[in-house]
């Protein structure tokens, strides 16, 4: 029986979630499997991988063949590198302590890269939020300025209309006074 390490799809439509399993190569994709090795969620950034390292390494050493995607996942988690180092120990190229030291050094570097990416994503999200808030504040200032200009223009127009009305009243009042003054003068000479 040929054993494969592959993904079994779970989750809902458009939002896949995978189980990493060791299964017979003849079994259907989401069907019967021998052992569940972990989970893989590509929907997060970076992708969330929960893997039982020792079980996966054990299956690789027994001869299980990973699919392309599982090979990438196992390489990302360091399972393939650990298998490579253990092969070097078996050949006598270096000691097991040396292999463990190399693997730990690689693991520290890998964790540093993952942490740097996570921090970068968090700072990018914060800076994008700040930029969005600054743009929103600028739009609000522009709107407030436009409203203030409209209000000032309306007040100026009202004052101008009031001044015109006052000027017309001022013109009509002296004309009426002149007419009132002129009317008694004309009556007085006619009465005499």
The pair of structure tokens assigned to 45 is 């950034």
- Strand 3-12 and strand 15-24: pairing? antiparallel
Burial 11-20 (b: 16+ CB within 10 A, else e): eeeeeebbbb
Structure token pair of residue 109: 């570097």
Task: Give the pLDDT score at 66.
Answer: 95
* Model confidence at 21: pLDDT above 90: yes
Taking all residues of the chain, what is their mean pLDDT, rounded to a whole number?
88
Instruction: Read off the tokens for 28.
Output: 């259907």
Contacts for 35 with CB less than 8 Å, ≥ 6 apart: 21, 22, 55, 59
Note the pLDDT of residue 183.
56
Kindly indicate the confidence band of residue 46, based on its pLDDT and cuts at 50, 70 and 90: confident
Categorize the per-residue pLDDT at 136 as very low, low, confident or very high, splitting at 50, 70 and 90.
very high
- Percent pLDDT > 70 in the chain is 89
153 or 179: which carries more pLDDT confidence?
153
pLDDT band at 76; cut points 50, 70, 90: very high
């Amino acid at each position: 029986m040929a054993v494969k390490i592959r993904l079994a799809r779970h989750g809902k439509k458009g939002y896949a979630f995978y189980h990493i399993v060791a299964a017979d190569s003849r079994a259907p994709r989401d069907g019967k499997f021998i052992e569940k090795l972990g989970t893989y969620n590509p929907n997060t950034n970076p992708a969330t991988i929960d893997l039982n390292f020792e079980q996966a390494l054990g299956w690789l050493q027994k001869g299980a063949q990973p699919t392309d995607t599982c090979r990438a996942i196992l390489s990302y988690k360091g399972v393939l590198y650990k298998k490579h180092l253990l092969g070097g120990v078996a050949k006598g190229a270096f000691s097991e302590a040396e292999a463990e030291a190399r693997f730990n050094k690689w693991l520290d570097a890998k964790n540093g890269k993952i942490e740097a990416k996570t921090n970068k994503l968090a700072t990018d999200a914060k800076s994008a939020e700040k930029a969005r808030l600054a743009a929103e504040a600028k739009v609000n200032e522009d709107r407030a300025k436009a409203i203030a200009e409209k209000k000032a223009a309306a007040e100026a127009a009202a004052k101008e209309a009031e001044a015109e009305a006052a000027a017309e009243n001022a013109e009509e009042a002296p004309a009426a006074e002149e007419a009132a003054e002129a009317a008694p003068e004309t009556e007085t000479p006619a009465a005499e």
